[in-house]
Structure 1
Amino acid sequence: MAITKPKPKTTPAADTFISGAPDAEAKPRGVKKGSKQQISLTIAPALLVKVDELAAELGQSRAAIINMAVYRAVEHGLIIDGLRREGDDRQ
């Protein structure tokens, strides 16, 4: 008698079809903490030291400084290598 692997209950095509339904909602990855979503972030040690210094200077947490920086980039725009990405507050 040969050992066989169990057959998957759904196929990738079926999963794609089901996830494309109008009432299908994407499940966020990670852990929900209150009204916020926890993420994992990798950051260069030298930059982390600067973030921690700024946080201490402003009396804020590391997470608060990172949240504020991301918020400002999204809402007010960002320039990377000379390319400007306008924020959501454009008129």
Structure 2
Amino acid sequence: MAITRPVPNANKTPTTSDDAAVEAFISGAPDSPKKPRGVIKGKRQQITLTMPPALLEKVDALAAELGQSRAAVINMAIYRAVEHGLTIDGLRKN
């Protein structure tokens, strides 16, 4: 009796484990659209923010007055805008 190689099945449909492996491969790529940007630190995600120096000085002054960090003041301001709305040029957004 001769040993033969199995004939590959060209009609094979991918299994769920194949799908999961493909998804894991794509998600792991450095340029994956599903990969969150920034650095995860505990339950928070680090971002980069740029602002004019004059505004940064005002943020730092407010932080010192409140006894909070710069990051805390920025987080509170963003939270307030998102939760309670924001008015820009007389137009209120909620």
Q: Do the two structures share a fold, i.e. TM-score over 0.5?
A: yes
Aligned to 1:47: 55
TM alignment of 1:63-78, pairs within 5 A? 63-78=71-86
Aligned to 1:80: 88
Aligned to 2:39: 31
In the aligned structure 2, how far is the partner of 1:28 from the partner of 1:38?
Answer: 10
Give the superposition deviation at 1:83.
1.3
For residue 46 of structure 1, what is the amino acid of its counterpart? Answer: A
Identity of aligned residues (%): 77
SS for the counterpart of 1:27 is coil
For residue 57 of structure 1, what is the amino acid of its counterpart? Answer: E
TM-score scaled by length of structure 1: 0.66
Structure 1 vs Structure 2 CA RMSD: 1.7
Runs of 4+ in 1 over 3 A off after TM superposition: none
Count how many residue pairs are aligned between Structure 1 and Structure 2: 64
For residue 61 of structure 1, what is the amino acid of its counterpart? Answer: S
User: Could you list the runs of 5+ residues in structure 2 that have no partner in the other structure?
Assistant: 1-25, 28-32
In the aligned structure 2, how far is the partner of 1:33 from the partner of 1:62?
Answer: 17
Give the superposition deviation at 1:26.
2.0
In the aligned structure 1, how far is the partner of 2:68 from the partner of 2:53?
Answer: 19
Structure with greater contact order relative to length (CA < 8 Å, sep ≥ 6): 1
User: Could you list the runs of 5+ residues in structure 1 that have no partner in the other structure?
Assistant: 1-17, 20-24, 87-91
SS for the counterpart of 1:32 is strand
For residue 43 of structure 2, what is the amino acid of its counterpart? Answer: S
